[in-house]
């Protein structure tokens, strides 16, 4: 299954499954050509994100492939951190 990640100023957001990426691209391009505008995208989980799109603000869309059976799994996982005491030699 293909999903779309949107990266804005270094932060990634997973777009909702039904979000029309082509329409988002067109609105972003129109905003840049019009010297800036707000566009709204739907994120996974139902949240809306209003973006100020203008020249100088990096915005990228990329497709990620999710293996079959993993559609409901998060795309990121928690980082295992070592305990503080593990850094010291006994």
Q: Is residue 28 part of a domain?
A: yes
Tens of pLDDT, residue by residue over 44-70, are: 888 999 999 988 888 888 888 877 765
Measured CA to CA, the distance from residue 60 to residue 4 in angstroms comes to: 10
Q: Is residue 44 part of a domain?
A: yes
Measured CA to CA, the distance from residue 70 to residue 77 in angstroms comes to: 13
- Between 35 and 10, the more confident residue is 35
pTM metric for this prediction: 0.65
What domain range includes position 36? Answer: 2-67
Q: Is residue 77 part of a domain?
A: no
Q: Is residue 80 part of a domain?
A: no
Q: Is residue 78 part of a domain?
A: no
Tens of pLDDT, residue by residue over 64-79, are: 887 776 555 555 544 4
Q: Is residue 24 part of a domain?
A: yes
Number of folded domains in the chain? 1
């Amino acid at each position: 299954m293909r999903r779309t990640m949107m990266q804005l100023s270094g932060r990634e957001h997973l777009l909702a499954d039904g979000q029309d990426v082509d329409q988002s691209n067109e609105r972003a391009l129109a905003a840049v050509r019009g010297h800036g505008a707000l566009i709204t995208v739907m994120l996974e989980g139902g949240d809306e994100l209003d973006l100020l799109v203008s020249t100088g603000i990096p915005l990228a869309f990329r497709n990620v492939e999710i293996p079959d059976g993993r559609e409901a799994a998060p795309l990121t996982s928690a980082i295992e951190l070592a305990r503080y005491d593990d850094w010291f030699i006994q």
